[in-house]
């Protein structure tokens, strides 16, 4: 059974990916410092996967800890989710973001080299494209200057990996550029756990419907889009998790030693589309109002998914209705727990 290191494996996307890895017969090893996740997620993963998944608690900025993890297990692949991800916080605390997101990456690559571990999958983001001049955006589009220190860590992270691959021809790595991951596992046992007031749309919607927030503010109704609200490519987190398993398999057979893929559905949805889908999936009426634009938001983006469809053999299967339904089931469960 193949050991796969999953850094940040107790987080939102990591936890769903660990479940998919178990389903596909891999042996994931989770490393997490619990800075943005709860230890209870480990037990829930075990219950969904019906197995005891290895977990090492620690911080990947700590070189000695990272070395100990690599010494303890022989890994055949690494999926690197661990990072700080709050765009607004990154503007306030840029050094925290550069330190956490980049030091961890360098420490892991060092250990991967020492142990000759290949098949490295990196969590990147469609933020690397900024506002593209035409849509859908494909992987040949240029990367635009990042809008935030967080976005910059994804651009620099991709470059670090690319340089590392150039210097180590046997090492294979893939960056996955996620569009907007939402939704939750069908069991409603794992999902997104935002700390404090959610910055992202879908957790804000579900918390408003659950009565935790009084009203959703839609940031901007005067964009150049059919209904005036911003357009994004929302992707179900379980579909995204599956893309990681396929990326691991692809990395071991690809000819290049570094490649990168968009992971989205290819469909653009406005904020109002998402609200409508939520209301229809949940049967709840949402209290919202349109307010000023949020600084830094791009108007519209959605993915060209041809490359990921063809080379990884991956295609998003779940639509907006399933995304909203599962996000709502997860929110209701949270209210009970
Ligand atoms: P998350 O915060 O839910 O998960 C990240 C996990 O990493 C958390 O459990 C946290 O405790 C852990 N972690 C952070 N720093 C660590 C460190 N130094 N050592 C050990 N563990 C550490 O985030 P997520 O939404 O699951 O995102 C996963 C990855 O995907 C991140 O790299 C993020 O930047 C990227 N990404 C996320 C989105 C999104 O919208 N969620 C979009 C694009 C890219
Ligand atoms: N929005 C609202 N009200 C809210 C929250 C969001 O109207 O309370 C709007 C935003 O203005 C935007 C859309 O909903 O038009 C989506 O916003 P999110 O904050 O959910 O997502 P973003 O597209 O801004 O960014 C997210 C992550 C980034 C990641 C990016 C691409 O926050 O980390 O997706 O993957 F890089």
**pLDDT digits 0-9 by tens, 50-73:** 999 999 999 999 999 999 999 999
Q: Give the pLDDT band of residue 296 (cuts 50, 70, 90).
A: confident
| Ligand 1, pocket residues at CB < 6 Å | 8, 10-14, 31-37, 59-61, 81-85, 100, 104, 123, 125, 178, 180-181
Beta partners for residue 4, in sequence order? 28, 77
CA of 97 to the centre of ligand 1 (A): 12
Sign of the CA dihedral with 237 first, then 280, 202, and 158 last: positive
Residue having the nearest C-alpha atom to atom 30 of ligand 1: 123
Ligand nearest to the CA of 225: 2
Mean pLDDT for 9-33 is 98
Q: Does residue 274's CB lie within 6 angstroms of at least one atom of ligand 2?
A: no
Give the residue, out of 15, 17, 28, 35, with the most ligand 1 atoms within 8 A of its beta carbon, to mutate for a pocket test.
Answer: 35
Arithmetic mean of pLDDT over the chain:
97
The DSSP result for 157-224, as a single string, is HHHHHHHHHHH-TT--EEEEEE-EEE---TTSSS-----SS--SHHHHHHHHHTTSSS-EEEE-S-SS
Residue having the nearest C-alpha atom to atom 13 of ligand 1: 82
Active site residue 26: no
Mean pLDDT for 200-227 is 98
CA of 61 to the centre of ligand 1 (A): 14
Q: What's residue 335's pLDDT?
A: 67
Residue having the nearest C-alpha atom to atom 39 of ligand 1: 181
pTM of the model: 0.98
Residues whose CB falls within 8 Å of the CB of residue 173, separated by 6 or more in sequence, listed in order:
118, 119, 120, 121, 122, 161, 162, 164, 165, 251, 257, 258
Mean pLDDT for 226-238 is 98
Asked if the model's pLDDT at residue 1 lies above 80, the reply is no
Q: Does residue 54's CB lie within 6 angstroms of at least one atom of ligand 2?
A: no
Q: What's residue 147's pLDDT?
A: 87
pLDDT-above-70 percentage for the chain: 99
CA of 222 to the centre of ligand 1 (A): 32
Helices (H) and strands (E) counted in the chain, each on its own, are 12, 13
Q: What's residue 195's pLDDT?
A: 83
Structure confidence by residue, pLDDT tens digits, 152-196 = 999 999 999 999 999 999 999 999 999 999 999 999 999 999 888
CA of 330 to the centre of ligand 2 (A): 19
Q: What's residue 116's pLDDT?
A: 96
CA of 85 to the centre of ligand 1 (A): 6
Mean pLDDT for 86-114 is 96
Q: Does residue 301's CB lie within 6 angstroms of at least one atom of ligand 2?
A: no
Q: Environment class of residue 205 by beta-carbon count within 10 Å: exposed (0-12), middle (13-18) or buried (19+)?
A: buried
Contact present, 14 and 60 (Cβ < 8 Å): no
Higher pLDDT, 318 or 195: 318
Q: What's residue 255's pLDDT?
A: 93
Residues whose CB falls within 8 Å of the CB of residue 19, separated by 6 or more in sequence, listed in order:
45, 48, 49, 185, 190, 241
Catalytic choice (150, 178, 250, 258)? 150
Ligand nearest to the CA of 84: 1
CA of 226 to the centre of ligand 1 (A): 33
């Amino acid at each position: 059974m193949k050991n796969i290191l999953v850094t940040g494996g107790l987080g939102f996307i990591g936890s769903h990916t660990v479940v998919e890895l178990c389903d596909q017969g891999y042996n994931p090893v989770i490393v997490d410092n619990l800075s943005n996740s709860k230890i209870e997620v480990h037990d829930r993963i075990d219950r969904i996967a019906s197995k005891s998944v290895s977990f090492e608690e620690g911080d990947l900025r700590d070189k000695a800890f990272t070395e100990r993890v690599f010494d303890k297990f022989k890994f055949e692949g690494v999926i690197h989710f661990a990072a700080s991800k709050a765009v607004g916080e990154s503007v306030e605390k840029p050094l925290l973001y550069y330190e956490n997101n980049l030091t961890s990456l360098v420490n892991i690559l060092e250990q991967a080299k020492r142990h000759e571990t290949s098949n490295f999958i990196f969590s990147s983001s469609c933020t690397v494209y900024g506002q593209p001049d035409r849509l859908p955006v494909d992987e040949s589009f240029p990367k635009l200057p990042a809008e935030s220190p967080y976005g910059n860590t994804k651009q620099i992270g991709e470059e670090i990996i690319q340089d590392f691959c150039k210097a180590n021809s046997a090492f294979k790595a893939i960056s996955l550029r996620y569009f907007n991951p939402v939704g939750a596992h069908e069991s409603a046992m794992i999902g997104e756990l935002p700390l404090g007031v959610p910055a992202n749309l879908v957790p804000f919607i579900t918390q408003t419907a659950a009565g935790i927030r009084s009203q959703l503010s839609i940031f901007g109704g005067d964009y150049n889009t059919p209904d005036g609200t911003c357009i994004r490519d929302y992707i179900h987190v379980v579909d995204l998790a599956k893309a990681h398993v396929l990326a691991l398999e692809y990395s071991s057979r690809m000819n290049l030693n570094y490649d990168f893929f968009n992971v989205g559905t290819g469909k653009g949805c406005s904020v109002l589309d998402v609200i409508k889908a939520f209301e229809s999936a949940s049967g709840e009426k949402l209290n919202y109002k349109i307010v000023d634009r949020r600084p830094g938001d791009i108007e519209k983006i959605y993915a060209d998914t041809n490359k990921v469809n063809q080379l990884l053999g991956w295609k998003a299967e779940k639509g907006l209705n399933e995304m909203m339904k599962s996000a709502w089931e997860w929110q209701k469960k949270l209210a009970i727990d």
